Structure 1
Amino acid sequence: MTQSFGETLIFAMLWVSLNKPEQVMKTSIYAVLLSGFCILLLNLFAIAVFGEGIYLRSIFPLYILIRQINIGNFITNLDALGVLYFCITSFFKFSIYLYAVARGFQQLLFLKSYRMIIWPAALCILFIGMTMASSQKEHIEVGMNIYPRFQILLLLALPAILLLVTCARKVLTKRS
């Protein structure tokens, strides 16, 4: 299994813009622990309800778990809440990624505002999203077979290069 860890790069890019950067580590650790606990809890519920076999074969175990809710034959069909949850979280994830891309291009191109980059970046993301994979199966195949080849570059080499550039800038700034 692979995990993108793109969130780590995106948040690292946004941390420099915070008003209180000294609280980044503490807040990040709390956020990771809380989200990890929630994911663990939901996965344990899914395994307890379906068993290991069905859980491992399902792509969205939380959605399937929500479909199983039946309280007194009155509160049923909560599928819409599951879909709403996925849509809202996808919207926020897309918004954060888009903001980070726009800010990154603003810094690279030395622009005064990131707002002029929003629409071109959104259209590029839409095009890439529409053409990257034609089905869920192909999307998973790309994530399992093609992405791991780039993982070392994205998660080790790129941050190492950025760290070296940052250190070099600090050294050159101190000499000036």
Structure 2
Amino acid sequence: MIGGIVIFLITILCVLVLGHDMTARNAFPSYALAKKVSLGNIIQRIEAIIAIIWFITIFYKMILHFYGAVLGLAQILNLKDYRPLALPLGMILVALSLVVFPDTVYSGIWNSTTWLPYVLTYGFFLPLLLLIVSLFQKPKKKINIFK
């Protein structure tokens, strides 16, 4: 909830300070907003601080997603310990990070053409299909192995 409020406030500030046209055209409007900050001769151009905060938050978000992926894969493979999967999955992700989006232009093209069908297929239709199938399945009998 706090994150949503912060994003909302930053968006409002960007639109009010930069204007709607500049905010829409800029890839990183909050960074452009940080360049404009000036409080006398004391605080000027705080974009370095914003960039550091941005990198730290991206790093923690990446760590949490990676941990979730490794833990989920360990559960799918019925492994007791997730740690042996961390290095191989990390190496795969490093290789994919260099290949998937080589630059922001390609990312923008992918977002405008491929993103919607991809998200609809794997984020909406497939989970909906799994939900419908699970509703029509008969409940399995639980086996008590601790007799």
TM-score bracket relative to the smaller structure: 0.7 to 0.9
Match of residue 108, structure 1, among 76, 80, 84: 76
Residue 79 of structure 1 aligns with which residue? Answer: 47
Specify which structure has the higher proportion of helix: 1
Higher relative contact order (CA 8 A, sep 6+): 1
1:164 to 1:114, Cα distance in 2 relative to 1, 3 A: farther
Match of residue 51, structure 1, among 13, 19, 26: 19
Residue 10 of structure 2 aligns with which residue? Answer: 42
Flag structure 1 segments of 5+ consecutive residues without an equivalent. Answer: 1-30
Residue 114 of structure 2 aligns with which residue? Answer: 146
> How many aligned residue pairs are there?
144
**Residue 95 in structure 1 maps to residue 97 in structure 2:** no
Flag structure 2 segments of 5+ consecutive residues without an equivalent. Answer: none
Point out 4+ residue stretches in structure 1 off by more than 3 angstroms: 161-170, 173-176
Letter in 1 for 2:94: L
**Residue 120 in structure 1 maps to residue 50 in structure 2:** no
1:23-38 aligned within 5 A: 31=1, 34-38=2-6
Q: Distance in 2 between matches of 1:168 and 1:98?
A: 34
The alignment's TM-score, normalised by the length of structure 1, stands at: 0.73
Letter in 2 for 1:104: G
Q: Distance in 1 between matches of 2:136 and 2:85?
A: 28
Aligned-residue offset at 1:37: 2.0
Q: Distance in 2 between matches of 1:118 and 1:168?
A: 37
Q: Which has the larger radius of gyration?
A: 2
Aligned-residue offset at 1:161: 4.6
SS at match of 1:172: coil
Aligned-residue offset at 1:54: 0.6
Q: CA RMSD in A?
A: 2.3
Q: How many percent identity over aligned positions?
A: 24
Letter in 2 for 1:113: D
Question: In the TM superposition, what whole-angstrom CA distance separates every residue of 1:17-69 from its partner, at most 9, and x where no partner exists?
Answer: xxxxxxxxxxxxxx3xx322221111110111111111110111111111111
